[in-house]
A and B are shown apart, each in its own frame.
Chain A
């Protein structure tokens, strides 16, 4: 058929129409699928394209001391953020921004790394930027399309270094924390408590972040007024009231020798509340706010004094003579000795047992001693004999029953349990030899395999100051949060407790090992201790309690000074001055810096109470 024949033309035209109909139909079906069938999914995608959820940080709960004074609160701070945008644009913006914010090239790289791992969230370029930095970037807003300045509450620790180990510090949540069930619902970039009360009560303090939606364009720029946006307001965190006494804490910070390492714990006898908890050296937790600088962090973590280490609850030291009271309490509880009973062997500066000689700390000897005298003079020979009467197995059993190998259950995120043999086979397991009966002599005077934290010893002395029971030391006063640990009990009669306290009182009385620590207005009771630390100088302990004359003790204070050598010279004055400060403020007596007998003598001031009768 010829090409120009109408029939031939019609045939080909029909074919062409079919081709057009087929291709257009294909397009029509594709558009029908996208715009009608799956439209809602695409609409959702379109909204998530243009809306960015910005977290509205919740103000963290404030922390107050027992008198309602602020320990930690929030002040306004301004953070520089970049909204999510394509990676190249974020990188370019960061590099242009770096000189204004004082960011190094490494800092930019670190930020980009963080952006890569979480490209849908706003990137915090600088938390709590200084005002000049803030205005420098704000002035150049047009250069930084996705810039967003956010008001974020900034944490402030009013007492700084004085309360560092109690309150802890804040930091950005780590990947490991994100995976832990304790941090369920937290998002990357959240700022959480890293230590101390901030960590322990993180869930109470944190609050719930709100959300705000803003419209952004393809470059991540916030456009227009936030039209059609909605917001969920943040819920602030709970405020906390602690048992801590801010003035006392600062007083300890003030009197603790700057060059020394150690810890001071002050407990309220009435309820076991922690009045003060101090560890030296300390650090300024404000340096952590908004992210600590790498140099600062290196200085803190490489400092040989380990300022981040909370010695009050993590430091374990052989308790030395302060533990003799535990031996005495066990002896009394078991009934192997009575308070007035004199031990048969007099102290001649040493005692032989087995095939060796066991020395007393005083080579001149103490003669015949009963319980009160033995505590007063810290006579080792008396306690050797008491230990032998109790026997190794029973001593271990009673000491572990009381909890000397347990943690106190304090409401702090990290606490180390005391170290104490759990049974007689402990020596076999640990050292590979059977325990000899001689071990009990070491344990009885607080030596041997026995290490306790200052807080644990303080809890023990609270039991001595009370009726033999001691609640777990607590920082939190309100709101009420139940703690799993129950109080522990020495099961001692009032008469036995009174005998032990009589011994402790004699330590500070004239002729006692710590008489120079005695105070004008208060009855001070206590026990020195020396924890052997070869080849270095010994650590000095003092565990004390004090109250108005003739009344039960109201405060227990335990101090340890590393390499302090003598408990009576370095640790006892710390305890005495701490207790004196607390009680003077409690009873309205003006605070004086010259407090102990030793200070009075050095200052040449009369000390009328030193010869007061009835303290023997």
Chain B
């Protein structure tokens, strides 16, 4: 009986992802329909379709790989992707995006993003590291090893610099730790230095935050070692201190993105342009949208990057709120089915893999969709299955295959 539900669950999950992928091809086609056609976007829907076939093939292939092999391949894959990320920093190219960014590696006319491979490899390695334990972590310091495992590729990706993909690694780490049984207060304490970083823009607010944090640590005193509490406080202090130099070390465009997120009208023709035009496109779509390929904001090229990071603004403008609800509903379905896969597999390794991928996708969806409507700052992060991009689509399908395979074998 449970077996049947899993099979149906698989179909629902794969069906939803397939639907999203096809919708993505359609939206990419629409993104190429401009009043003044651009050679960059005119025919890319065909390439996306090709990548979708490749992705589907890889998905079928991966589904046939036994879980043991995947477990065995986890560490070599992790090591290999770390090496690739190092190589990217040395010989990487911008891949046609902003100059000075090194995210791509070219191998004989074929280019891919090592960070996409690294995401899956990190998930696998993390599952390998944490999969052995039968009990939840009892101490904060037990989270340090997983954090370090994710921190290395994370740092290498941020150095590219690719802040968006870096955030996906954060999502992977927290989702895996959560599924690994780490208590939520521990996760919050781990996230606290990040909060300190953000709040340090105002010394008074930051001081108040440190006081609140200290009080929290006091209430958690029976669950934490003293050295852990001190470590948390020190990390927060350090984050608050390095905030200013870190801010200064950010590239101009990154700083602008954050400032403009706080107030898009700061520079409506410059850095605020994208956010404003994206909101205009989505808002003017209304309930039913302007019709497939009929979006004026899109046709007249008001939203930059509308075939990649801002594909959702094309959806919102042309298919309206109904299209938005459809896609968000499909993503919710996909994420719920992923949770269910993990829930139903008794093998901790399988559950951790599924949850790592879940964490990455949730981060991608929330940040990407959120930035098109001005809910989160603009970070160059694509929308799974919908945004144009070969390696991302391929690796997303491979990830799905891995998740389904390990979950089926780990079924209780």
Interface residues of chain A, those whose CB is within 8 Å of chain B, are 2-4, 6, 8-10, 12-13, 15-17, 19-21, 23-24, 26-28, 30-32, 34-36, 38-43, 45-47, 49-50, 86-87, 215-219, 221, 223-224
Contact = CB atoms under 8 A, between A and B. Distances in A.
A86 B373 contact: no
Given A13-B339, A39-B283, A42-B284, A31 B324 contact: yes
Nearest to A41: B283
A35 B286 contact: yes
A46 B36 contact: no
B412 A6 contact: yes
B300 A32 contact: no
Nearest to B287: A36
B369 A221 contact: no
A9 B342 contact: yes
B297 to A, nearest CB: 6
Interface in B177-226: 178-181, 184
Given A9-B343, A216-B300, A223 B35 contact: yes
A31 B301 contact: no
B300 A50 contact: yes
Given A41-B283, A46-B296, A20 B362 contact: yes
Contacts of B362: 19-20, 23
B287 A30 contact: no
B342 A221 contact: no
Nearest to B130: A3
A87 B373 contact: no
- Which DSSP category, helix, strand, loop or mixed, fits chain B's interface? helix
A40 B285 CA distance: 9
Given A3-B133, A36-B286, A217-B300, A224 B178 contact: no
Given A16-B175, A30-B370, A34-B316, 17 more contacts: A3-B181, A6-B412, A10-B343, A15-B178, A16-B178, A16-B339, A16-B358, A20-B332, A20-B335, A31-B325, A41-B283, A42-B282, A47-B296, A49-B297, A217-B34, A219-B301, A221-B36
B280 interface: yes
Interface residues of B, number: 58
Given A36-B321, A42-B282, A50 B296 contact: yes
Contacts of B332: 20-21, 24
A24 B175 CA distance: 16
B283 A42 contact: yes
Contacts of B347: 4
B178 to A, nearest CB: 7
Nearest to B341: A13
Interface of B: 34-36, 133-136, 175, 178-181, 184, 269, 277, 279-287, 296-297, 299-302, 316, 320-321, 324-325, 328, 331-332, 335-336, 339-340, 342-344, 346-348, 351, 355, 358, 362, 366, 369-370, 373, 375, 412
A253 B58 CA distance: 93
A24 B316 contact: no
Nearest to A228: B296
Nearest to A217: B300
A92 to B, nearest CB: 14
Nearest to B373: A30
A9 B340 CA distance: 10
A4 B340 CA distance: 14
A123 to B, nearest CB: 15
A39 B328 contact: no
B339 A31 contact: no
Contact of A3 (B180, B277, B299, B324): B180
Contact of A28 (B35, B325, B344): B325
- Which DSSP category, helix, strand, loop or mixed, fits chain A's interface? helix
B348 A8 contact: no
Contacts of B375: 26-27, 30
Contacts of B179: 12, 16
5 contacts: A3-B136, A4-B134, A9-B344, A20-B339, A35-B320
A42 B370 contact: no
A35 B283 contact: yes
A46 B285 CA distance: 9
Contacts of A217: 34-36, 299-302
Given A4-B134, A221-B36, A20 B300 contact: no
A491 to B, nearest CB: 71
Contacts of A26: 370, 375
Contacts of A224: 35
Contacts of B300: 49-50, 215-218, 223
Contacts of A40: 286
Nearest to B179: A12
B252 to A, nearest CB: 16
Nearest to B137: A3
A531 B136 CA distance: 114
B191 to A, nearest CB: 14
A27 to B, nearest CB: 5
Contact of B279 (A16, A19, A42): A42
The 9 closest A-B pairs by CB, nearest first: A42-B283, A46-B284, A217-B300, A13-B343, A35-B321, A223-B35, A39-B286, A43-B284, A34-B283
Contacts of B36: 217, 221, 223
Contacts of A19: 362
B284 A45 contact: yes
A551 B339 CA distance: 115
Which residue, A20, A21, A28, A36, has most C-beta atoms of chain B within 10 A? A20
B283 A43 contact: yes
Contacts of B286: 35-36, 39-40, 43
Given A10-B343, A31-B324, A38-B283, A3 B134 contact: yes
A12 B358 CA distance: 13
A42 B320 CA distance: 12
B340 A13 contact: yes
A217 B133 CA distance: 59
A27 B330 CA distance: 13
A52 to B, nearest CB: 11
